[in-house]
Amino acid sequence: MPRIKKQIMVKNKQGLHARPAALFVQVANKFDSRITVSRNHEEVNGKSIMGILMLGVEANTPIMIEVDGPDAQRALSELENIVSSEKEK
């Protein structure tokens, strides 16, 4: 199973709060892969809304997304599209 790790700049003006965080978790839960998100050495489950909100990610903040599993590449691609978009989806 592939394991992929990538640092991505959060460009959404809202950061990963409320709606963007909910969308991130909704998309993450479509995949079988294990997804973790970290910021400033704090790591959380990418499929947990509370975990994502606890990170307090604001706009123009880098986060690390690590995906481990059979659909890792597809999961990372979709999640990257969410956080790197300047517009709220």
Q: Is residue 45 part of a domain?
A: yes
Q: What is the mean pLDDT of residues 68-82?
A: 96
N-term to C-term CA, the chain: 30
Q: What is the pLDDT of residue 68?
A: 98
Q: What is the pLDDT of residue 56?
A: 95
Q: Is residue 55 part of a domain?
A: yes
- Which residues are within 8 A (CB) of 18 and not within 5 positions of it... i.e. 6 or more apart? none
Give the CATH number for residue 47: 3.30.1340.10
Q: How many domains does the chain have?
A: 1
Q: Is residue 20 part of a domain?
A: yes
Task: Measure the CA angle with vertex 68, ends 57 and 19; round to 5°.
Answer: 30
What is the band of 85 on the pLDDT scale with cuts at 50, 70, 90? Answer: confident
Which 8-state DSSP code applies to residue 57? P
Task: Evaluate if residue 23 carries a pLDDT over 70.
Answer: yes
Q: What is the mean pLDDT of residues 78-86?
A: 90
41 is known as an active-site residue: no
Active-site residue among 17, 34, 64, 71? 17
Q: What is the pLDDT of residue 14?
A: 85
What is the band of 1 on the pLDDT scale with cuts at 50, 70, 90? Answer: low
Domain range for residue 78? 3-83
Q: Is residue 13 part of a domain?
A: yes
